[in-house]
Structures are given as C-alpha cells and as structure tokens.
Amino acid sequence: MAELSITLKLPFYRLNQVKASEFERLTVLNTQVANDLLKIDKAERRKITSSAFKHVEIGSAWINQTIRNTNAKTKVKHFKRMWLEVNNQNFEISKQGDLYSVAFNLLRGRKGRIPLSVHCASHAEVLDKIIACGVKLGSLKLCKSKKGIWYALVCVSMEVPDAISVERWIGVDRGQNNIAVAALPKSFGKFWKSGRVKSLRRQFQRTRRKLQSAKQLKEVKRLEQRERRIMTHINHVISKELVQFAQDFGMGLRFEDLSGCRQTMKQKKKTKSDAASNRDTWAFYQLEIFTRYKAIRSGVPVQSIPAPYTSKSDYRNGVIGKRNGDWFKGFDGYRCNADWNASQNIGQWVGFSCPLSLQDAVTAMVAVDTEGGVDDSPLTGEASKAAALAPS
C-alpha cells in the first residue's frame, strides 16, 4: 500500500462576524508571539515552552505549535502573519446531520471544545474516513483567504492502493503552444490549448507595467498573486482531466523529465521580455506534481523518461526529423503534429535513450548498414539494437 498525504481546505459554514473577528484578533496576537520569539537568541529560543507565555490568552497547545513553527524558520527576520495551528490531539472532526464539524478551543483555561460547521466540498469521503479512524490526522491550521473567507486546513495521511499494473502508456508532452498533449499509443490525442494562458500572461504583464510606472507596488504584488492563483487553478483542472483520461483507458501516464530545463534551454532577450513566450514563467513542474498526487490517489501509475530528442524523433522509426513550429516532418515526407509526435515518443519509450554522442553515432553507422537513416541521424530503434550486437 502506498501512503498519500494531502491537505483538506475546509471553508467554515456561515461563520458569524463575532467569531471571524475573534479569529482575526487571536491571529494578530499569535503573530506578535512569533515576532517576540525572533528577538531571542536561537539557542535559548529552543528551550522556551508555552509556560513563558502564560499572560497570552491563546491556548498552550497553539502556543507550543507557534514556538515549533518559529524555530523551524531559521532565516526569517519578521513575520507578517503567523496563522494559528495546533496538532492532532487538540481538535476533532464529527458529523452532525449533513454537515461536518471541527471542534477545538482557542483560549487558555477553557476545557470544552466549540464545534464549527465546515463545507465538505469534494472531501466528504476523506472526512468519513477520519471519523471512522481510517486515516491519520495531522495538524489543523486556521487561515483567511484574500476574499476574507476563513478556512480550516487539515492535514491527513492515508493508505491508498498501489498503482495498477499496465502494459501501455499515455505519453504527455508539455509545451507552450499546447500546455499538454496526451496521446494514446499510435492513436488520437487530447490537446489542452495554451491560447487563454498566453492571453492572460500578456494582459497581466501590460497591467503590471502601468502599475509599476505609477509606483503602485502593493497593487503589483496583489496582481502577481492573482495571476499565480489563476495558473494554479488551470493546472489543477488539466491534471484532473489527465488522470481521468488515463483511468478511462486503463493506462499509465508518462512525462518527460524536464529537471534543469531552464538552464539548458537558452532564450533570446526578446523572447524573455514577452511573458507569454518566456519559458521561465510556465509552471510545467507544477502540472506534473498535481498530476502525480491525483494519480496516486486514483491508482494510476506515473513514470518519468529522459527528455532529449522526444520532439525531434519520428515516432514510427526513431529517425531524427525536422520540426517547424507546430509540425513535424520525417525523412520520407511524413507530416504530423509535432506535440502529438512527441507524446507518442514519450508513451512508447522502451528503455533506450536517443542522446548518443556524435563519435558513438558515427562508429555505429560505419559498422552497420542503416536502413532508413537520413542526414547522418543518430541510430535509434532497431538500428541501434543491431549496432550494439554487431561484432567489432
């Protein structure tokens, strides 16, 4: 069994103004406690317990967690906001009718726990497991969104079935013309276009420039956070559809290993100046992370394969071809969508890698007759296997 850790974001149901104001007041007080701790030497700070803050009305369990969180942030000089957090021994989750409740006590000296109803959203199944003691509870954190909505963030760890065994894989190619392309083996593909994302990137960039010229830096920061939330939501939607696509056909998902791509892929200064074209602003890794944890929860296997030459090789024979924009052209004149061709290469990867050094490629070409080779392309596929078995 695999173990999955997730955080449930549960908005409070009909939270009245008095309780919301109390949450806000105690959060400010908790932030002051954290900043007071930062003024103490690190060695002495680790010896402090909640008894040093008896004058603070926040419960000792919450104060102890604040002390642990502050000690963990070794490089922070000042906290703007330290949210209230407590471990799993000081809150409980129950169900009353159709609503779920989280019961806890924030104030020192109060023994009873006050239940507050929360929206379950899509977490009803997990909350039922919590009540039945089927999952391991983590911490509870109280936080407020930009819109003023208070949430209870509950961390849980649970066992999920191991990924199913599959024989065929769906290749997922990520790029800027298409955010993602998932193709069935030698069959059709599903495209997630990037037109809306590029438009949003440019729109936010234009607005930021105007605000920066007007010296409205706080508004610039707020706009950047809004842009990030929108892109995160888009990645969540795509990752959910990718996992569902794999489930519908009983296959696994394969991604390119794009680690370090920002250092290896050079960009012109003009390209980097355009937010829609600058690869540094695209959240390729975030999309993979979102897909992975959703796939683990659904029992869909996920693999990573080497990225070189997946976009330049012909999926039919592995021979290097030419890519021109959205189109890929093979040595025999065959044309197809370049991202679809790349996803085919990713999906049918069988353990050998395309990136051969030039010296090895030339040596293999001299030793073996390359059927179907063109323009001194490196040997791949059956030709590569024949070269490896040929006597020296």
Query: What's the whole-number mean pLDDT along residues 368-381?
Result: 40
One domain, residues 46 and 107: yes
Same domain, 332 and 367: yes
Share of the chain above pLDDT 70, in %: 89
Percent of the chain beyond pLDDT 90? 47
Question: Is 317 part of any domain?
Answer: no
Whether the CB-CB separation of 152 and 10 falls below 8 Å is answered with: yes
pLDDT at 386: 44
- Shared domain for 84 and 41, answered yes or no, is yes
- Least confident span in 68-77, 112-121, 156-165, 297-306: 112-121
Domain residue limits at 10: 2-160
Task: Write down the pLDDT at residue 240.
Answer: 95
Same domain, 147 and 177: no
Among 126, 160, 194, residue at a domain's last position: 160
- In the chain, the number of structural domains is 3
Q: Is the residue at 311 inside a domain? A: no
Lowest mean pLDDT among 34-38, 73-77, 305-309, 381-385: 381-385
**CB-CB contact of 173 with 346 (8 Å):** yes
Domain assignment present for residue 313? The answer is no
Q: Are residues 197 and 125 in the same domain?
A: no
Q: What is the pLDDT of residues 187-202, one digit of tens each?
A: 888 999 989 999 999 9
pLDDT at 353: 45
221-263 tens-digit pLDDT: 999 999 999 999 999 999 999 999 999 999 999 998 888 777 7
- In a shared domain, residues 154 and 210: no
Q: 122 and 61 in one domain?
A: yes
Picking from 275, 178, 266, 260, the residue whose alpha carbon sits closest to that of residue 228 is 275
Pair (350, 298) in one structural domain:
no
Of 274, 306, 338, the last residue of a domain is 306
Secondary element (H or E) of residue 338: helix 338-347
Domain end point (choices 105, 137, 160): 160
Is pLDDT above 80 for 385? Answer: no
Regarding whether 275 and 215 lie in a shared domain, the answer is: yes
In a domain, 54, yes or no: yes
- 208 & 264 share domain: yes
Distance CA 110, CA 114 (A): 10
Q: How far apart are CA 113 and CA 130, in angstroms?
A: 18
The per-residue pLDDT for range 312-333, each reduced to its tens digit, is 888 888 888 888 888 999 888 8
Tell whether 181 is covered by a domain. yes
Does residue 148 lie within any of the structural domains?
Answer: yes
